[in-house]
Amino acid sequence: MSAQYPVSRPRRLRRNPALRRMVAGTRLHAADLILPMFAKEGITEPQPVASMPGVVQHTRDSLRKAAHEAAEAGVGGIILFGIPAVKDARGSAADDPDGVLQVALRDVVAEVGDSIVVMADTCLDEFTDNGHCGILTPSGDVDNDLTLERYASIAVAQAEAGSQMVAPSGMMDGQVGAIRAALDAAGHGNLPILAYSAKYASAFYGPFRDAAECAPQFGDRSTHQQDPAGPLEEALREVRLDLAEGADAVMVKPALAYLDVIAAFRAEVDVPVAAYQVSGEYAMIEAAAANGWVDRERMIMESLVAIKRAGADLILTYWATEVARRL
């Protein structure tokens, strides 16, 4: 039992910045951060994303420069998303060795080497002409098992382009196992998988779909992404399945609205837990700051600390380079 007031005074340890820093229970490090970046085929200048101030669709040159800056700042990783010039129902560009994402992977790995972990999003929504995450049936549903074949091929193409980790985000049943088997068979048994284990059908993704040009042309993704009102046990079931299939690290997406899920994952698993501070979280803070309603830097740091305190080992954030420099 601890002493009671007036003997016990918790404020004693909050009296000055040095004391607060010494006893801080949550610490951010630059290496905890992963920077999402968008590579767009066929552009000659970086294209600003209107709904995400400060974020751009990169050219090959600007992508290399941004990757170098992230590595120099001490950021732990980069995750790349590709936007092809031509899309079709199969997402053919996704596993094309000369497709935009594979070119981006080779460029970035050549620029930064092993100084930062270079990974790729392994999905189809940026590559299909319908904006969905997989192959569609004649009735317009996503065919889970046909989609797994595409994911397996994409993961191998990414590995052969130099990706140091793959991150399947489509929320198809069995995706981790299919990708693990394909990577192993292709001689990439040492390549780790970061599984999007709890990815919710969230309203917080809106600005991302501008950046990645992947809004569904009809319907939504509620048949495969998790219901925001779904039970916590459903998320835990998903993460257990991914681990059984060979996931090396797991992710919760979005982050701030799902801190309880992050905490539950941290208590459940013995692998790294990542959380994605998504585009809507980023855009809200940037918009409020632009209007003078909030202290931008304090809110960025507070939001990241909250995600870290909930149990995330890794945080995907569009502020990764900026925050890494500040740390």
Q: Is 276 annotated as a binding residue?
A: no
Q: Is 115 annotated as a binding residue?
A: no
Catalytic residue among 40, 65, 87, 199: 199
**8 located within any domain:** no
Q: Is 209 annotated as a binding residue?
A: yes
* Segment among 148-157, 167-176, 217-226, 306-315 with least mean pLDDT: 217-226
**Model confidence, pTM:** 0.95
Catalytic residue among 40, 87, 253, 308: 253
CA distance 214 to 173: 21
**42 located within any domain:** yes
Give the SS3 label for residue 253: strand
Report which residue type is found at 147. Answer: T
Q: Is 279 annotated as a binding residue?
A: yes
**227 located within any domain:** yes
CB count in 10 Å sphere of residue 90: 17
For the chain, how many structural domains are there in total? 1
For residue 73, which of 42, 21, 35, 102 has the smallest C-alpha distance? 35
**292 located within any domain:** yes
* Segment among 45-59, 83-97, 130-144, 232-246 with least mean pLDDT: 130-144
Between the alpha carbon of residue 92 and those of residues 74, 137, 166, 206, the distances in Å are 35, 17, 18, 24
Residues 182, 176 contacting (CB under 8 angstroms): no
Q: What range does the domain containing 36 cover?
A: 27-325
CATH classification of the domain holding 259? 3.20.20.70
Tell me whether residue 87 is one of the annotated catalytic residues: no
**6 located within any domain:** no
Residues 168, 151 contacting (CB under 8 angstroms): yes
DSSP state letters, 35-104:
EEEEEETT-SS-EE-TTSTT-EEEPHHHHHHHHHHHHHHT--EEEEEEE-SS-BTT-GGGG-TTSHHHHH
Tell me whether residue 253 is one of the annotated catalytic residues: yes
What does the pLDDT read at residue 72? 98
The first and second tokens of residue 252, run together, are 């919760």
**144 located within any domain:** yes
